[in-house]
Amino acid sequence: MAELLFRSWLPPEADVNISSAGVQALLGHGIDRSSASALGQLGIDPSQHRARQFEPWMAVDADLILTAERAHRDQVMTELPSAFRRTFTMKEFARLSRHVGSGNPKEVIAEIAGIRAIDGPVPEDDDNMPDPYRGRIKQATSIAQQVSATVRATISVLGLVADRPNVTSVASAAVAGATGVPSRPRPLPR
């Protein structure tokens, strides 16, 4: 979901590379029906999206790595220790983004990494995104709304809006599959 939302909501002039992979991906499979329905409600066609397995090399050059759960975040950092300061759960990054101003993506990511503990201990469920896989459509719709909020916060804090193109790369590990590209970007919802 996150990859397709980023692809859909980033402005056309933003030079951003988005990819995703799962830590337990069903290689080559598309998005499950309930998640596809939830994305369809947001005007996103997920039909070309295919799952792929996360491999550490995928995150080596990423400026930002967002995961669905802390366990996924920890796996990325275990397999690629150099990624520590640029790896967060989606919800963690969005939560921390409220403490910084928007701007240059690399500077914002570094600033957020530096304040990682600012909120003190946070319950794990507050940082984990529920998995909609094969759940009910109502559940997938609720999760799509949560993913949408984190994507919106990330795009905003990184300054990736129509009048401020920047170059960065975002890898969404353990979120979904990879390579789905919608036909045209849609405006960022408010």
- β pairing state of 64-67 and 15-21: unpaired
Q: In sequence order, what are the beta bridge partners of 50?
A: 178
Predicted TM-score (pTM) of the model is 0.81
pLDDT computed for residue 63 by the predictor: 95
For the chain, which ranges sit under pLDDT 50? 162-168, 172-190
| pLDDT at res. 182 | 30
Give 78-121 pLDDT, tens digit per residue: 999 999 999 999 999 999 999 999 989 999 999 999 999 999 99
Q: What are the strands of the beta sheet with 167-173, ordered from one edge?
A: 15-21, 167-173, 64-67, 87-89
Domains in the chain, please, with CATH? Answer: 2-173 (3.40.50.2300)
Q: How far is 136 from 59, CA to CA, in rounded Å?
A: 31
The pLDDT value given to residue 133: 81
The predicted pLDDT at position 170 comes to 55
